[in-house]
Structure 1
């Protein structure tokens, strides 16, 4: 089991009841919830976000804009770091076309988010 102090912060606007339900899910149930949420996005004609957080990322906010996705996140580094978590930091995430018709997700660091900006 993981330390509750390291539990990710839910994104803004996610209903508290849903947050509670998700926190009580086992990993297998969470994976199924992700699949179902992606299916619902497709049903509503929405594309999936290009966001794939690392294990040490804590996504605080995601906002869609024309041409990019705005992401505010903080992260945890090595065990024993007294300054963790680091951030929050603002990124603009884009999907860049690659030869062969594929795309690659590109994270552009925009800077530190100050409390009044959050």
Structure 2
């Protein structure tokens, strides 16, 4: 079992049982859980998830902040790269207004990120 005492703090209002269940999942199961949660949000039309990874990206962590979303991801090259995956890299993602009245997602590269592999 992973020691989460140094890990991220769950958002306020998240049920204790869900927090405990998520803590028991493997990284692969967590990624699948994120995908399913995004699909449920879109199904309920409550909100559109602003993080759309590029093909070959592997999102490791998403943390909401006031004014931006912090994203840590790894990047996979095309076939033949012996050094894949690259990263993890830290990005700040924001929704920016445009003159046409819409908004677009903007990814700002911050740098390399440390990810607990416990």
Is TM (by shorter chain) over 0.5?
yes
Provide closer, same or farther for how the CA distance between residues 91 and 39 of structure 1 changes in structure 2, counting only shifts above 3 A: same
Q: Any idea what SS the aligned residue of 1:61 has?
A: strand
Aligned residues between the structures: 92
Match of 1:37 among 27, 36, 41: 41
Q: Displacement of 1:49 after TM fit?
A: 2.6
Q: How does 1:21-36 map to 2 (within 5 A)?
A: 35-36=39-40
Distance 2:63 2:37 in 1: 21
Q: Displacement of 1:55 after TM fit?
A: 1.7
Q: Displacement of 1:58 after TM fit?
A: 0.1
TM-score, with length taken from structure 2 = 0.64
- The reply on whether 1:68 has 2:68 as its aligned counterpart is yes
- The reply on whether 1:84 has 2:84 as its aligned counterpart is yes
Distance 1:54 1:97 in 2: 21
Q: Displacement of 1:34 after TM fit?
A: 5.0
Distance 1:41 1:61 in 2: 23
Q: Displacement of 1:115 after TM fit?
A: 4.5
Gaps of 5+ in 1: 1-12, 24-29
Q: CA RMSD in A?
A: 3.2
TM-score, with length taken from structure 1 = 0.64
Q: Displacement of 1:107 after TM fit?
A: 0.2
